[in-house]
Structure 1
Amino acid sequence: MKRPRFLPDNMTLLLLGVILIASFFPVKGELAVSVDHLSTLMIALLFFMHGAKLSREAVVAGMTHWRLHLLVLGVTFALFPLLGILLKPALLTVLTPDLYLGILYLCLLPSTVQSSIAFTSVARGNVPAAVCSASASNLLGIFITPLLVSLLIKANSDGHSSADAMLKIVYQLLLPFVAGQIMRPYLQAWITKHASVLKMVDQSSILLVVFVAFSEAVVQGLWHQVPTLMLLGLLLISAVILALVMGFTTLISRRLGFSKEDEITIVFCGSKKSLASGVPMAKVLFSSGSVGMVLLPVMLFHQLQLMVCAVLAQRYANRPK
């Protein structure tokens, strides 16, 4: 049975469940330390599997469309951060500094892979180009996002140097990813056969990191700092940012003479932000006490982008052939 398009997806429901459990039963003390170590190992496994799953052939097939890819990367790593910076004075009137930090961090993340490609396919867009753009965004995000965080957010303010943050990125994210790429020829058949198992590993890694982050945040009084009205304001801000970016990508792709298929790819790849990359990177880049607050805007934006893009993809799909 097909899920109604406005209902949350399964992953979002699981995330909500994890947040509820962390809110009422947060891990503390030595157990929290042990679970935190486990989440670090799961993050390494997550990026190893991302490296093993990324098809070089699919990337090469779409690389020739360089104008499209430059536009998508420009929106992801330039327009989004610019919006986060320009909106700061207005956002700080309704959000706490920590929640604004989460909005800015959201703006620095790479695009999603799976949902960008899936929505492009449903909307009858340029799927090979979407594979290339989304994959390139995720790969470059391993380098660009930490660099932008260091420049714009100054994640080293919690006592860690920029060199320490980059070193963590290298050995917790980049090295597992490269190892996965190297092992891909040997694992490709197994990955194809056990796709459902790998999806569970992906989701479990994210859920565990979210649980650890929100446990720490709840212990430090997260829900006392974020009242319901502020949460609704955060959702409205996410909607405004998403609308601005989707409007810009639609307009600029038409002004630059892209085909309708390319426009679809630009809109869906350029407007997304990756929860799968954002959660583990936040754990590496931010102090444990601030991760929960930083991830709250990311998770709200994640669900919002899925619902909006589901509707938009269907509208594109219904256009005359």
Structure 2
Amino acid sequence: MRKLDPFLLSLIGAVTLATVLPCQGIATTVLEYLTDACIMVMFFMQGLKLERRAIWENMRNWKLQGLVLVCTFALFPALGLGLHLVAPGLMEQSTWLGVLFLCCLPSTVQSSIALTSLANGNIAASICAATLSNIMGIFITPVLVSLVLHRHGVWSAQAIGGIAVQLLLPFLAGQMFQPILHKWAHRHKKLISITDRSSILLVVYTAFSHAVVEGIWRQLSLRHIATLIVVDTALLVSVLVVTLLVSRMAGFASRDEVSLILCGSKKSLASGVPMANVLFPASAAGFVILPLILYHQIQLFLCTLIARHYHNKHLADV
């Protein structure tokens, strides 16, 4: 069984700290400014890390790349909306809000590539797919959130400005400085990873502090959380099955099949937490990111099992 990774334990710690000692008063204002700054730094670093060359070199495999984008930005929202339509009373409305937001997010980069490597999949194609998904997600996710949730306030002038200032401009700046700072970023991957994760933890703590003040734990019992875990798992398993069937129908080689399954089923915690902070009011952000935090660990656990299966299959074939 896969052990809990240190980052997940840190996320649990941030939620626990917010529950026991939520920030209030002037501390909330200070943390909100600090959170905005950290989000900008994190997207600047993402701009430094994401290589445009990896995208252009693998765009020729348009069928694979297109299917990953369809799974990420069409299949997931359709499944989420369908499940909500069939069983709207299964969870609280605020929890459904988080699940539907989760369905609109881009794929992950780091874990998709790492697990593709473990599974002996098409690493270059996964780099392209995950990178393209994250770049497009900056533009597509807010639109999807507005359409899926029917929340016109999400796509307001203020939201557009927040996305431009906190997410898009820092990302573009990182891309501009990539020729100069790429080698530095490559040498300091560990430092950048610590910065990214620290930023996410700060956003989670701030968001959950607001949620605790709003009474999140009075509204969500252990039964509600268990139901949420089942819903997250059902979404992931559904997409895993669909991507497997589609890859077989498309006649993909095993390496491309791995890339479609592992990239098309993932959702990015690193992008989702900052986006929730920008797109939703502070009182709702904690409710929105809870399904994503749970999904993050579920996807790591199940996708690691799948990657190991493909790895063992490859060894047996050799």
Does TM, normalized by the shorter one, top 0.5?
yes
The total of aligned residue pairs comes to: 315
Within the alignment, does 1:202 sit opposite 2:192 as a pair? no
Name the counterpart of 2:165: 171
The one-letter amino acid of 1:98's match is S
Separation in 2, partners of 1:58, 1:90: 41
Within the alignment, does 1:187 sit opposite 2:185 as a pair? no
Q: Please, which of 290, 293, 296 is the counterpart of residue 296 of structure 1?
A: 290
Conserved 8 A contact 1:19-1:211: yes
Name the counterpart of 2:273: 279
Name the counterpart of 1:51: 47
Separation in 2, partners of 1:259, 1:189: 34
- Over 3 Å counting, the alpha-carbon distance change for 1:66 and 1:308 in structure 2 is same
Separation in 2, partners of 1:9, 1:122: 17
Deviations 1:85-115 (A, max 9, x none): 1111344222100000000000000000000
Conserved 8 A contact 2:146-2:155: no
Q: Please, which of 96, 120, 124 is the counterpart of residue 128 of structure 1?
A: 124
Deviations 1:112-145 (A, max 9, x none): 0000111111000011000000000000000000
Within the alignment, does 1:234 sit opposite 2:228 as a pair? yes
Question: How much has 1:161 moved relative to structure 2?
Answer: 5.7
- Over 3 Å counting, the alpha-carbon distance change for 1:271 and 1:50 in structure 2 is same
Name the counterpart of 1:213: 207
Separation in 1, partners of 2:219, 2:86: 19
Separation in 2, partners of 1:171, 1:197: 24
- Over 3 Å counting, the alpha-carbon distance change for 1:161 and 1:254 in structure 2 is closer
Separation in 2, partners of 1:262, 1:109: 22
The one-letter amino acid of 1:48's match is F
Separation in 2, partners of 1:62, 1:12: 32
Structure 1, gaps ≥5 residues long: none
Conserved 8 A contact 1:8-1:307: no
Separation in 1, partners of 2:269, 2:155: 25
Once the two structures are superposed, the pairs formed by residues 8-23 of structure 1 within 5 Å of their partners are 8-23=4-19
Conserved 8 A contact 1:91-1:100: no
Name the counterpart of 1:308: 302
Name the counterpart of 1:270: 264
Separation in 2, partners of 1:64, 1:285: 34
**TM-score in terms of structure 2 length:** 0.97
Separation in 2, partners of 1:51, 1:108: 21
Q: Please, which of 100, 105, 111 is the counterpart of residue 104 of structure 1?
A: 100
Within the alignment, does 1:81 sit opposite 2:77 as a pair? yes
Deviations 1:139-196 (A, max 9, x none): 0000000011122224444xx7622212211111000000000001111121112111
The one-letter amino acid of 2:104's match is L
The one-letter amino acid of 2:47's match is G
**TM-score in terms of structure 1 length:** 0.96
Separation in 1, partners of 2:108, 2:151: 23
Conserved 8 A contact 1:155-1:286: no
The one-letter amino acid of 2:276's match is A
Separation in 1, partners of 2:295, 2:190: 25
Conserved 8 A contact 1:155-1:285: no
- Over 3 Å counting, the alpha-carbon distance change for 1:314 and 1:254 in structure 2 is same
Separation in 2, partners of 1:210, 1:156: 25
Within the alignment, does 1:31 sit opposite 2:27 as a pair? yes
Conserved 8 A contact 1:113-1:134: yes
Conserved 8 A contact 1:88-1:100: yes
Deviations 1:36-72 (A, max 9, x none): 1100000000000000111122222222111100000
Conserved 8 A contact 1:113-1:135: yes
- Once the two structures are aligned, what percentage of the paired residues are identical? 45
Separation in 2, partners of 1:156, 1:191: 38
Separation in 1, partners of 2:258, 2:303: 11
Any idea what SS the aligned residue of 1:93 has? helix
Separation in 2, partners of 1:221, 1:307: 30
Conserved 8 A contact 2:48-2:174: yes
The one-letter amino acid of 2:265's match is S
- Over 3 Å counting, the alpha-carbon distance change for 1:161 and 1:199 in structure 2 is closer
Q: Please, which of 87, 93, 105 is the counterpart of residue 89 of structure 2?
A: 93
Per mean C-alpha deviation after superposition, the further-off stretch among 293-302 and 188-197 is 188-197
Per mean C-alpha deviation after superposition, the further-off stretch among 145-154 and 311-320 is 145-154
